[in-house]
Amino acid sequence: MAIKKFAVACFDDEAPLFAAVDKVRNSGYKLHDVYTPFPVHGLDVAMGHKDTDLHIAGFCFGLTGTATALGFMSWIFTSDWPINYAGKPFFALPAFIPITFELTVLFAAVGMVLTYCYLNQIMPGVKKHVFHPRQTDDYFVLVVEVPEGEPEGEIMEFLAGTNPLETNVQVAEDGWWFGRWDKDEDYTKNFA
Amino acid sequence: MHLKYESFVREPLITGDKTYAQVTEDICKPIEQKPSKLWYVGFVLSLLFLGFGVFSVFWEVYWGLGTWGINRTVGWGWDITNFVWWVGIGHAGTLISAILLLFRQGWRTGVNRAAEAMTIFAVMCAGQFPIFHMGRVWNAFYVLPLPNTRGPLWPNFNSALLWDVFAISTYFTVSLLFWYSGLVPDFATIRDRAKTKLRKRLYGLASFGWTGTAKNWQRFEALSLVLAGLSTPLVLSVHTIVSFDFATSVIPGWHATIFPPYFVAGAVFSGFAMVQTLLILVRKIYKMEDYITLGHIEAMNKVIVLTGSIVGVAYLTELFMAWYSQVHFEQEAFKYRVFGPYWWAYWAMMTCNVVSPQFFWFKKLRRNIVFTFILSIVVNIGMWFERFVIIVTTLANDFLPSSWTYYSPTWPELGFYLGTFGLFFTCFFLFSKYFPVIAIAEIKFTLKVSGDKYKRDMQRLDAMTTEEFLEEANHAH
């Protein structure tokens, strides 16, 4: 969480964006992030992101659900309070399957969504800097970090070479904070 | 050039030469405008129905279950009929959002948001019925496995009715999470183009601070895929478990192994009919004809004719098995079902569910909006009768002829049912005003593959030789 200076380039299509991402990665500049209005397939690979492990988390939560349901029902009906229901066995495994299945799904889904929110750092009340209001509409926004103490001129010239629609320089918080979206923060005054 | 190829033979899913910006504009417009007069009329009407429903339920809770028409012979009447009906309606939403995602059906993107909303509201309505059928509703929490002061006593985990509690609540929770995780990026879109402070603040809150980084989208896709994978068996399990409420009993007419697949097919059948009813209205009122095209309507009608036929086969199989089993009581149960005091319900069901969807074998009728709209309502009436037939006609002629009886509902039962319509449409009206009724991000994702503007270019690409195509692709950047 720090306030930094960023060079921003906007595109209106995926094709020039991919070319620009390649160029930035080969140039040695630090690619801060790319913001797109919808999932662009292959962009994560082009940016060098590893595959997400979210589904592994989901599997673990699911197993927890299975164990919880099976363990709980077995404990209740065999040791805590065994009841004879129409002469059926106390440990009636086939009858435990529906609830076991439901809890597996429930735990996996809830756990995964919470993990997803945690990893993406999203939650009601969270605020992040929006580099361009159209990044959730029709712009593909590429953001490069300007190293501390360096002028942005060279980077801007470099970004202009990727044929963007528009470029600009912004000073912004690079993480998240709690805030209201109808109020604008001004970072420039505490940025030396 | 976009390198994802879809043959031009396939019908475009988005018509009207859209760009990304135009998609955002079209879908966000109803949210940013004042609602029409029609909206207010519909909303107030829904609230009136809801109010009457609340009063009916209050009456039942205050005076007790005796205010309903159910009795010792027919212990389940309209309440459970309506419960099964509403749960079934919900199934289409999950089928569209989850199963069609796994099958990579592009047309789901135009309809999944509204269909999932329908699922959630339908399950909310369904849940009311078993709860208020308990009579002493303040003891409803007895179904939860809570440590309690009544002794360390637990609910019966071997009971199909308790499985229902887990199935319905899991289904509601997972559907809600799936739906909302897709809504978050769309709320961010509305937030970033909001002109008023209040809208910016509220949609900022609802969007969870989403900005759409590449990594976030990667996780978004992973989450959607796994949730779809979880929801697919879940939706099949939910109506399977609902059917267990009947199939695991020893009542002739209920005790049948065919129930789970037959109930699931019926649920998808009625759910798609309800999706048609709602979406034909939505596309008209909000001018979404470019996103919910005739192709979408036709695709859903194909599902209706398929599932309708499965249901028809199930009805006939039941009759055949009753005869073939040579079990006297089974045969009698079905004789009373078809020709007994409730014969009119059976034949209404047969006409609406088995005969009427067969019209959809004709392409002209599948693409006729007025016909589809009328038929979608007919199908839902038929599916309501199906549940009524299964529940009431079976119970009315039970083991002891001396206790046979005829059941008809009283006004609080009717009011309760109307009240759930009020609840459903109140929620749906609010949804259509404040939420994007079409998944904005997902539509944009399919735009350059299935948009008519981009598909026209496919004809040119299709005519190329491989060498020419590679030449163009390699020099595109």
**Sequential DSSP letters for B298-310:** HHHHHHHHHHHHH
**Higher pLDDT pick, A190 / B281:** B281
Average pLDDT over residues B219-226: 93
Q: Report the C-alpha gap between A149 and B424 in whole angstroms.
A: 59
Cβ(B113)–Cβ(B441) below 8 Å: no
* Model pLDDT for residues B157-168, shown as the tens digit of each residue: 899 999 999 999
Which A-chain residues 41-60 have CB contacts (< 8 A) with chain B? 43-44, 47, 49, 51-52, 54-55, 58
The share of chain A scoring above pLDDT 90, in percent, equals: 40
Instruction: Tell me the per-residue pLDDT of B401-457, one tens digit each, with 9 for 90 and over.
Output: 899 999 999 999 999 999 999 999 999 999 999 999 999 998 888 887 777 777 777
Residue A6 in any domain: the answer is no
- Closest among B190, B92, B178, B282 to A106, alpha carbons compared: B178
> With an 8 Å Cβ cutoff, is A97 touching chain B?
no
Per the DSSP assignment, residues forming a β-bridge with B422 are none
Q: Which uninterrupted H or E stretch holds B456?
A: helix B452-463
The DSSP element (H or E) to which B125 belongs, if any, is helix B108-133
SS (H, E, C) chain A: CCEEEEEEEEECCHHHHHHHHHHHHHHCCEEEEEECCCCCCCHHHHCCCCCCCHHHHHHHHHHHHHHHHHHHHHHHHHHHCCCCCCCCCCCCHHHHHHHHHHHHHHHHHHHHHHHHHHHHCCCCCEEECCCCHHHHCCCEEEEEEECCCCCCHHHHHHHHCCCCCEEEEEEEECCEEECCCCCCCCCHHHCC
Summarize the confidence of residues A86-107 as an average pLDDT: 92
| Beta carbons within 8 Å of A73's beta carbon, 6+ residues apart | A96, A99, A100, B157
- Which one of B170, B207, B208 has the shortest CB-CB distance to A102? B170
CB atoms within 10 A of CB B328: 9
The Cα of A90 is separated from the nearest Cα of chain B by a number of Å equal to: 10
Contact A103 B184 (CB under 8 A): no
By the 10 Å C-beta count (0-12 exposed, 13-18 middle, 19+ buried), B302 is classed as middle
pLDDT of residue B16: 80
Q: List the single range of A117-131, A163-177, B217-231 with lowest mean pLDDT.
A: A163-177
Query: How far apart are the CA of A150 and the nearest CA of chain B, in angstroms?
Result: 25
Asked if residue B213 lies in contact with residue A35, where contact means CB atoms within 8 angstroms, the answer is yes
A105-124 mean pLDDT: 94
Chain B hits for A88, Cβ within 8 Å: 158
Percent of chain B with pLDDT over 90: 62
Quote the DSSP letter at residue B360. G
Residue A93 in contact with partner chain B when CB distance is under 8 A: no
Residue B286's pLDDT is: 85
Quick one: average pLDDT of A4-21? 88
| pLDDT band for position B15 (cuts 50, 70, 90) | confident
The DSSP symbol for B136 reads S
Under a CB-based contact definition with an 8 Å cutoff, are residues B295 and B11 in contact? yes
A78-82, A106-110, A127-131, B331-335: least confident range: A78-82
In a domain, A84, yes or no: yes
Residues B201-221 have pLDDT tens digits of 999 999 999 999 999 999 999
Q: Would residue A73 count as lying in a domain?
A: yes
pLDDT of residue B305: 94
User: What is the DSSP pairing of strand A176-178 with strand A30-35?
Assistant: unpaired
What does the pLDDT read at residue B280?
92
**8 Å CB contact of B209 and A88:** no
Domains, chain B, ordered by start: 20-143+154-450 (1.20.1630.10)
pLDDT value of residue B149: 65
Q: What string of H, E and C letters represents the secondary structure of B228-290? A: HHHHHHHHHHHHHHHHHHHHCCCCCCCCCCCHHHHHHHHHHHHHHHHHHHHHHHHHHHCCCCC
Q: Is residue B477 very low, low, confident or very high in pLDDT (cuts 50, 70, 90)?
A: low
- The upper half-sphere exposure of residue B362, i.e. CA atoms within 13 Å in the direction of its Cβ, equals 8
Mean pLDDT of A50-65: 93
Which residue from B minimizes the CA distance to A73? B157
Whole-number Å distance between alpha carbons of B182 and B440 = 10
pLDDT tier at A2 (50, 70, 90 boundaries)? confident
Q: Which of B24, B157, B477 faces A19 most closely, judged by CB atoms? A: B477
Closest partner residue to B184 (CB to CB) among A80, A106, A122 is A122
Q: Which two tokens stand for residue B121?
A: 């509201």
Residue from A100, A136, A178 whose CB has the most chain B CBs within 10 Å, to mutate: A136
- Given B173, B214, B233, which is nearest A34 (Cβ)? B214
pLDDT at residue number B150: 65
Cβ of A137 within 8 Å of Cβ of B223? The answer is: no
Q: At what angle do helices B411-434 and B37-63 cross, to 10 degrees?
A: 140
Average pLDDT of span B2-19:
75
Is residue A174 assigned to a domain? no
| A111 interface with B at CB cutoff 8 Å | no
**Can you tell me the distance from the alpha carbon of A72 to that of A56, in angstroms, rounded to the nearest whole number?**
24
Residue B4 pLDDT > 70: no
Most A CBs within 10 Å: which of B226, B442, B475, as the mutation test of the A interface?
B226
Quote the CA–CA distance of A150 and A99 in Å, as a whole number. Answer: 61
pLDDT (tens digit, 9 = 90+) per residue, B97-139? 888 888 888 888 888 899 999 999 999 999 999 999 998 899 8
- Answer whether A120 touches B (CB < 8 Å): yes
**pLDDT tens across A126-171, in order?**
999 999 999 998 899 999 988 887 888 888 888 888 888 988 888 8
* First-to-last C-alpha distance (Å) of chain A: 16
A105 domain residue, yes or no: yes
Is residue B247's pLDDT more than 50?
yes
Question: CA of B250, closest CA in chain A: separation in Å?
Answer: 13
How close is the nearest chain A Cα to the Cα of B448, in Å?
Answer: 10
What mean pLDDT, rounded, does chain A reach? 89
The type of residue at B373 is: F
pLDDT at A179: 87
Instruction: Flag whether residue A70 sits within 8 Å of chain B, measured between CB atoms.
Output: no
Does A161 reside within a domain? Answer: no
Mutate which: B29, B166, B197, B221, vs A, most A CBs within 10 A:
B166
Q: Return mean pLDDT, chain B.
A: 89
The CA distance from B20 to B472, in Å, is 24
Nearest to B227 among A95, A109, A123 (CB): A109
Domain annotation covers residue A61: yes
Q: Which of A43, A129, A180 lies closest to B204 in CB terms?
A: A180
Model confidence, pTM: 0.92
pLDDT tens-place string over residues B53-82: 999 999 999 999 999 999 889 999 999 999
Distance from C-alpha of B210 to C-alpha of B200, rounded to nearest angstrom: 13
Number of CB pairs, chain A paired with chain B, less than 8 A apart: 209
pLDDT at B145: 85
**Residues of B in Cβ contact (< 8 Å) with A52:** 215, 218-219, 222
pLDDT one-digit tens code per residue, B308-333 = 999 999 999 999 999 999 999 899 99
* B2 pLDDT more than 70: no
Residue B1 confidence (pLDDT)? 44
B393 Cα distance to chain centroid: 26
Would you call B153 and A81 a contact, using CB atoms and an 8 Å cutoff?
A: yes
Q: Which of A14-18, B139-143, B342-346, B466-470 has the highest mean pLDDT?
A: B342-346
**In Å, how far are A64, A86, B256, B402 from B399, measured between CA atoms?**
45, 20, 17, 9
Task: Tell me what pLDDT residue B142 has.
Answer: 85
Cα–Cα distance for residue pair B413/B352, rounded to 1 Å = 23
Neighbours of B116 (CB within 10 A): 26
What band does B233 get if pLDDT is binned at 50, 70 and 90? very high
As for the ipTM of the complex, it is 0.93
Between the CA of residue B154 and those of A96, B26, B142, B151, B161, what are the distances in Å? 14, 53, 9, 9, 14
User: pLDDT grade, residue B469 (50/70/90)?
Assistant: confident
Query: How many domains is chain A built from?
Result: 1
Residue of A nearest to B439 (CA): A38
Q: Quote the percentage of chain A above a pLDDT of 70.
A: 96
B248-291 pLDDT, tens digit each:
988 888 988 899 999 999 999 999 999 999 999 888 888 888 88
Q: What angle do CA A114, B102, B122 make, to 5 degrees?
A: 65
Interchain CB distance below 8 Å, B189 and A34: no
Across the interface, of B19, B156, B218, the residue whose CB is closest to A44 is B218
Inspect the interface and report whether the beta carbons of A44 and B197 lie closer than 8 Å. Answer: no
- Residues in chain B with CB shorter than 8 Å from the CB of A34 are 213-214
In a domain, A160, yes or no: no
Query: What are the C-alpha distances in Å from B389 to residues B340, B342, B354?
Result: 11, 8, 15
Q: Which residues of B touch A80 (CB under 8 A)?
A: 152, 154
pLDDT in tens, B321-364: 999 999 998 999 999 999 989 999 999 999 999 999 999 999 99
